[in-house]
Amino acid sequence: MDVISDMAKSLESISRLSRELQEEVLERVSSGVCPIELDGILYDVPEPIFALINGLVAQIQELSNLYEIPGHKGN
Protein backbone atom coordinates (compact mmCIF):
# COMPACT_ATOMS: atom_id res chain seq x y z
CA MET A 1 0.00 0.00 0.00
CA ASP A 2 2.89 2.39 0.64
CA VAL A 3 3.82 2.40 -3.05
CA ILE A 4 0.29 3.42 -4.02
CA SER A 5 0.22 6.10 -1.32
CA ASP A 6 3.60 7.46 -2.45
CA MET A 7 2.45 7.47 -6.06
CA ALA A 8 -0.72 9.35 -5.15
CA LYS A 9 1.30 11.96 -3.25
CA SER A 10 3.67 12.35 -6.19
CA LEU A 11 0.82 12.79 -8.66
CA GLU A 12 -0.85 15.30 -6.37
CA SER A 13 2.35 17.33 -6.08
CA ILE A 14 2.96 17.50 -9.84
CA SER A 15 -0.68 18.39 -10.48
CA ARG A 16 0.11 21.85 -9.09
CA LEU A 17 2.76 22.44 -11.77
CA SER A 18 2.20 23.93 -15.19
CA ARG A 19 1.51 21.50 -18.00
CA GLU A 20 5.00 22.05 -19.41
CA LEU A 21 6.65 21.25 -16.09
CA GLN A 22 4.40 18.21 -15.62
CA GLU A 23 5.53 16.87 -18.99
CA GLU A 24 9.18 17.52 -18.13
CA VAL A 25 8.87 15.71 -14.80
CA LEU A 26 7.10 12.72 -16.37
CA GLU A 27 9.62 12.49 -19.21
CA ARG A 28 12.49 12.56 -16.72
CA VAL A 29 10.89 9.88 -14.56
CA SER A 30 10.16 7.62 -17.51
CA SER A 31 13.68 8.02 -18.91
CA GLY A 32 15.33 6.36 -15.90
CA VAL A 33 17.55 9.41 -15.39
CA CYS A 34 17.80 11.38 -12.14
CA PRO A 35 19.24 14.83 -11.56
CA ILE A 36 22.04 15.26 -9.06
CA GLU A 37 23.60 18.55 -8.04
CA LEU A 38 27.33 18.87 -7.47
CA ASP A 39 28.89 22.24 -6.73
CA GLY A 40 25.82 24.05 -8.05
CA ILE A 41 25.78 22.16 -11.36
CA LEU A 42 22.95 19.73 -12.24
CA TYR A 43 23.94 16.45 -13.87
CA ASP A 44 21.66 13.74 -15.22
CA VAL A 45 22.75 10.29 -14.06
CA PRO A 46 21.17 6.87 -14.58
CA GLU A 47 18.82 5.83 -11.78
CA PRO A 48 21.04 2.92 -10.58
CA ILE A 49 23.96 5.34 -10.13
CA PHE A 50 21.69 7.79 -8.29
CA ALA A 51 20.55 4.97 -5.99
CA LEU A 52 24.17 3.94 -5.39
CA ILE A 53 25.14 7.50 -4.46
CA ASN A 54 22.17 7.82 -2.08
CA GLY A 55 23.10 4.50 -0.47
CA LEU A 56 26.70 5.60 0.03
CA VAL A 57 25.61 8.91 1.53
CA ALA A 58 23.33 7.06 3.97
CA GLN A 59 26.18 4.71 4.95
CA ILE A 60 28.57 7.62 5.51
CA GLN A 61 26.00 9.40 7.68
CA GLU A 62 25.37 6.24 9.67
CA LEU A 63 29.08 5.59 10.20
CA SER A 64 29.80 9.20 11.11
CA ASN A 65 27.03 9.10 13.72
CA LEU A 66 28.28 5.77 15.04
CA TYR A 67 31.91 6.84 15.30
CA GLU A 68 31.29 10.58 15.78
CA ILE A 69 33.80 11.59 13.11
CA PRO A 70 35.14 15.10 13.92
CA GLY A 71 34.38 17.73 11.31
CA HIS A 72 31.56 15.75 9.73
CA LYS A 73 28.01 16.70 10.53
CA GLY A 74 25.69 13.72 10.45
CA ASN A 75 21.93 14.18 10.13
Q: Between 68 and 52, name the one with better pLDDT.
A: 52
SS3 43: strand
SS3 25: helix
Per-residue confidence band for 55, with pLDDT thresholds at 50, 70 and 90: very high
pTM of the model: 0.54
Do 14 and 24 contact (CB within 8 A), yes or no? no
Over the stretch 16-44, which tens digit does the pLDDT of each residue have? 889 998 888 888 778 888 888 889 998 98
d(CA 22, CA 24): 5
Task: For residue 58, list its beta bridge partners.
Answer: none
SS3 44: strand
Q: Between 27 and 6, name the one with better pLDDT.
A: 27
